[in-house]
Amino acid sequence: MDGIINVLKPVGMTSSDVVMALKKILKTKKVGHTGTLDPDVSGVLPICVGKATRLAEYLVRQGKSYKAEITFGIVTTTQDGSGEVLEENSPKVSQEDFNKIAPRFLGTIQQIPPMYSAVRHKGKHLYELARKGIEVERSPREVEIDRIELLEWIPGTFPKGIFEVDCSKGTYIRTLCHDIGQALGCGAHMSHLIRLSSGPFKIEESIPLDSIKARIGEGDFSFFVPMEQTLDLVRVNLSPERGEAFRKGLATARKQIEGVENIDESEEVQVFCEGQFLGIGIWRNQALCPRKVF
């Protein structure tokens, strides 16, 4: 059982809850998630099993897509629907206003992590401080937003917009909603969120926990995604001789490998030999050095 499971996380469970459930279902301790989803958020949660847990750091880096609902006129302590209301007004904001302001948040932007988040400050999670009524200064973080597309507009006392967003890892969609509301001068919060994709994993192919348990009971493990199908790193192919050297932890000079002229120093790559995935390598001093051997 070495691979990744594209889990459909339900509302009400933390990412750690999903990991604990799968440990029991799979009867193994080597299970880990690839980035937390808040309990109120559902959708794609890739879970690494067995040797694949060593790839979690690479899967976390990959881009994400979400479908979010933003509610205007209400600002909360958590920037989502679970928090206490700080401000409330009946805004005159329209679909056109949203579409005009959205491009301001495309590209590389700065986000200040919310107080109710897992970011650490002096060894403590920010949410631990927030629950005690303590607010600390947070440094802005650089994130990348590639697409914001409004799908539906719901007018009313508190207008709502449903939109999709493609973004980099580390992007807080609730902070994006909050910041859009601030930019429009009426305030807003994220009232619903579903993760549609994480790297190559899509919600259409995700599996609920109950289905995983049932299929394993039938001896069906076909839902495990092989490790080599999940990475967006450049592929490098080694000869059988150099493949054996890689397995033993030995470096291979660049001149001994074909088709790697455009790979930069310090770049990480996925390494194959005769179609078999060997592991992760890194370029150092014009040589391919093993970083993780499988």
Give the Cα separation of 232 and 114 in Å (integer).
29
171 with 111: CB under 8 angstroms? yes
Per CATH, is 64-198 categorized as 3.40.50.10110? no
* Topology match between the domains 3-62+200-228 and 64-198: yes
- Note the pLDDT tens digit of each residue in 197-229: 999 999 999 999 999 999 999 999 999 999 989
Give the residue with greater pLDDT, 187 vs 115.
Answer: 187
Q: What is the pLDDT of residue 135?
A: 67
pLDDT of residue 37: 87
**pLDDT tens across 155-205, in order?**
999 999 999 999 999 899 999 999 999 999 999 999 999 999 999 999 999
pLDDT of residue 124: 64
Domain ranges of the chain: 3-62+200-228, 64-198, 233-293
Q: Look up the CATH number of domain 233-293.
A: 2.30.130.10
pLDDT of res. 139: 76
Say whether 38 is catalytic. yes
Whole-number pLDDT of residue 130: 56
At the topology level, CATH places domain 3-62+200-228 in Pseudouridine synthase (3.30.2350)
Q: What pLDDT does residue 137 have?
A: 67
Annotated active-site residue in 2, 38, 80, 166? 38
Query: pTM above the 0.75 mark?
Result: yes
